[in-house]
Amino acid sequence: MKLLTCPMNGPRNIDEFQSFGPVRARPDPNATADREWSRHLFRAENRRGVVVEWWRHVPSNYFFLAERDLVSNEIIRTFDASEPRDRA
Amino acid sequence: MPLRLLKYGLSRDYPVSGDIPATPELKPAYDVVIIGGGGHGLSCAHHLAKYHGIRSVAVLEKGYLAGGNTARNTTTIRSNYITPEGIAFYKEGVELFERLSQELDFNVMFSQRGQLTLAHTEATMRSFHMRAEMGKHMGTRTEVVDQKGVEELCPLLNMDYGGALEILGGLWHADGGTARHDAVAWGYAAQASRRGVEIHQRTEVQGFEVVGDRIRAVKTNRGRIACGQVLIATGGMNYDVALMAGVELPIRCYPLQAMVTQPLKPWLHTLVSSVSLHTYLVQSSRGEVVIGGGSDPYQLYSTRSTLDMKEHLAEGAVHLFPFLQGVRLLRQWAGITDMTPDYSPIMGASPLANLWLDCGWGTWGFKATPVAGKRMAQTIADGRVPDILKPFALERFETFRLLNEMGATAASH
Ligand SMILES: Cc1cc2nc3c(=O)[nH]c(=O)nc-3n(C[C@H](O)[C@H](O)[C@H](O)COP(=O)(O)OP(=O)(O)OC[C@H]3O[C@@H](n4cnc5c(N)ncnc54)[C@H](O)[C@@H]3O)c2cc1C
């Protein structure tokens, strides 16, 4: 069983969570060409290394952020979306 | 020793040379450099050499021959997709499999036993009707069957009448089948090397020399190679390898896991797949039941197996065939799959003039090994993408012309 530490509910089985993928910068809808929209919609971070991702604790429907290593699968830190983040 | 045998032993035909020669020295340049010695790269090499007379070809494989997803897949071959572009392409793929053992002079053990996909909800039945109509329109053998039809095709199935997962009907695809994955790769490799293609194992591409809009050379752990044309066919590593050339593909990597049971007497005569249970089964000719295929629920570059996924697959398998509960598992494994947003591959041109893509094969690319190799070889030889491949271009994401095969892929591969 892999544990994920939810900022609100503490360490829980990762089965209780749903991944929503890497955080993407939101383009400015008034100044964005089709090409950038396409990038925003279809290209998520996939480089080997640490990504910042959206996760949801399903039973409590709480969304938060996690830094996770895409190679080792180590969850480096989890935090509330209002907290400052170093990456992405 | 009988004279006849002695004569043979002293003749020039003896000893028989190996099918696939040992890795030779790298030459300074090749007309075509194929990155990735999986089924796709080897199939392209074969088609270049045999049908286009292009023999200055090097296949570069960082590990051993076909040790990537070609070695890990569950060998479902089918064409019951939903977009006309997808069906046309995969249909050609199935037809090539029908003749593949003859083409390669190598037994790939193709067994066209048909695929039965099960519906446990009315919504799934509706999607099956759509797929069946599209399939018939495109000339494939795909039809909806009712409960009685399912029972006739697969009498040992637990229909779960009155239960929460009652089987309401199925999608019967008589063209569906399976083949021996390793044999497909070895057959292509043997044919290609017989015609002069060089297969370089333990040769890893580590970078590119890009000049203007062309790749001038490929950098490997064994040295630099100048190249005419370059093909990327590196399976789960497609995102990484394309990125080395400055091309960012819309791909995310997820592990896909599968497992097999101990060998049993033959009892499962079709491929069976359940959409709701996310489980499919096929019995190999050795009698092992291959059970797939669970994608991990988040991105990862890892081929580790997890108990969660094995439990999930075992639960699905035992639900469909309760008598499997005492059966032992022999092996489990995972492969890294290069998933695209629309569950269709990315084939054809790249932003660089001499770099070609055979990527985004995700969880479904084994069945396309012959056709992708054939059509990519044609593309490289002509310097032009044939009509059948045009819909799969990388640009489709910029023009929002997606080929959505998610529903026709998720549980069937
Ligand atoms: C568990 C599982 C089940 C599957 N089931 C099915 C199925 O039932 N039906 C189906 O159609 N498909 C299935 N697939 C998908 C299918 O396996 C793949 O899409 C297909 O095998 C891809 O073939 P390929 O030759 O492109 O890639 P691969 O076979 O992965 O070959 C790519 C090769 O490139 C090499 N490589 C990578 N990086 C480099 C580098 N830098 N330099 C040199 N070489 C490099 C790798 O070592 C590898 O050997 C499944 C996949 C998995 C993991």
Asked which of B339, B354, B382 is the last residue of a domain, the reply is B339
Tokens (6 digits) for B65? 């021959």
Element housing B243 (H / E): helix B238-244
Give the tokens for residue B327: 């059966």
Residue A84 lies in a domain: no
- Do the domain assignments include residue B89? no
Contact B34, B28 (CB under 8 A): no
With a 6 Å cutoff on the Cβ, whether B204 touches ligand 1 is yes
B238 lines ligand 1 (CB under 6 A): no
Is the minimum CB–CB distance between B302 and chain A shorter than 8 Å?
yes
Residues B33 and B165 in one domain: no
Atom number in ligand 1 closest to CA B76: 8
Report how far residue B218's alpha carbon sits from residue B211's, in angstroms, rounded to the nearest whole number. Answer: 12
Atom index in ligand 1 nearest the CA of residue B60 equals 43
| b/e map B223-252, b = 16+ CB within 10 Å | eebebbbbbbbbbbbbbbbbbbbebebbbb
Strand ordering across the sheet containing A62-69: A17-22, A50-57, A62-69, A75-79
Count of all residues that appear for chain A in the document: 88
Is A35 a residue whose pLDDT tops 90?
A: no
**What is the CB neighbour count within 10 angstroms for residue B341?**
19
Q: Is B396 within 8 Å of B65 (Cβ atoms)?
A: no
Q: B7: which residues sit within 8 A by CB, 6+ positions away?
A: none
- CA of residue B234 to ligand 1 center, whole Å: 7
Q: Is A29 helix (H, G, I), strand (E, B) or coil?
A: coil
User: In the listed set B296, B323, B339, which residue is the last one of a domain according to the structure?
Assistant: B339
* Total number of domains constituting chain A: 1
Residue B19 lies in a domain: no
Pocket probe mutation, ligand 1, options B234, B238, B347, max atoms within 8 Å of Cβ? B234
- With a 6 Å cutoff on the Cβ, whether B205 touches ligand 1 is yes
Instruction: Point out the domain boundary residue: B314, B339, B364.
Output: B339
The segments of chain B whose pLDDT lies below 70 read 411-412
Q: What is the pLDDT of residue B18?
A: 77
Note whether residue A86 is domain-resident.
Answer: no
Sign, Cα dihedral of B91, B95, B100, B103: negative
* Ligand 1: centre distance to CA B86 (Å): 19
Helical residues (DSSP H) of B321-391, grouped into ranges = 369-382
What pLDDT is stored for residue B275 in this prediction? 87
Min distance A39 CA to chain B CA atoms (Å):
8
Q: What is the pLDDT of residues A46-84, one digit of tens each?
A: 999 999 999 999 999 999 999 999 999 999 999 999 987
Cα(B287)–Cα(B103) distance, integer angstroms: 27
Residue B153: predicted pLDDT: 98
Q: Token pair for residue A43?
A: 């290209």
CB B43 less than 6 A from any atom of ligand 1: no
Same domain as B335, residue B265: yes
Amino acid B26: pLDDT = 98
Q: Do B270 and B327 sit in the same domain of this protein?
A: yes
Residues B284, B211 share a domain: no
Provide the residue range defining the domain that includes B147: 112-176+253-339
pLDDT at residue A85 is higher than 80: no
Same domain, B193 and B314: no
How many structural domains compose chain B? Answer: 2
**Nearest in space to B317 (alpha carbons), one of B363, B282, B347:** B282
Residues B290 and B320 in one domain: yes
Extract the tokens encoding B251. Answer: 């791909």
Angle among Cα B43, B378, B61 to the nearest 5 degrees reads 35
Q: Say if B94 falls within a structural domain.
A: no
pTM score above 0.80: yes
Separation of alpha carbons B289 and B262, rounded Å: 7
The vertex-B136 CA angle with B135 and B141, nearest 5°, equals 80
B191 with B333, same domain: the answer is: no
**In-domain check, residue B92:** no
What's the rounded Cα separation, in Å, for the pair B171 and B117? 5
Does residue B140 lie within any of the structural domains?
yes
Cα–Cα distances in angstroms (integers) from residue B108 to residues A53, B98, B165, in the given order: 43, 10, 36
CATH of the domain at A50: 3.30.2270.10
Instruction: Give yes or no for B299 touching A (CB within 8 A).
Output: yes
Q: Strand pairing partners for B206?
A: none
Q: How far apart are the first and last CA of chain B?
A: 53
- Report whether pLDDT(A87) > 60: no
Residues B140, B199 within the same domain: no
Q: Are residues B148 and B262 in the same domain?
A: yes
Summary mean pLDDT of chain A: 92
Domain span at A13: 3-26+39-79
List the one residue out of B326, B5, B38, B385 whose CA is nearest residue B184. B38
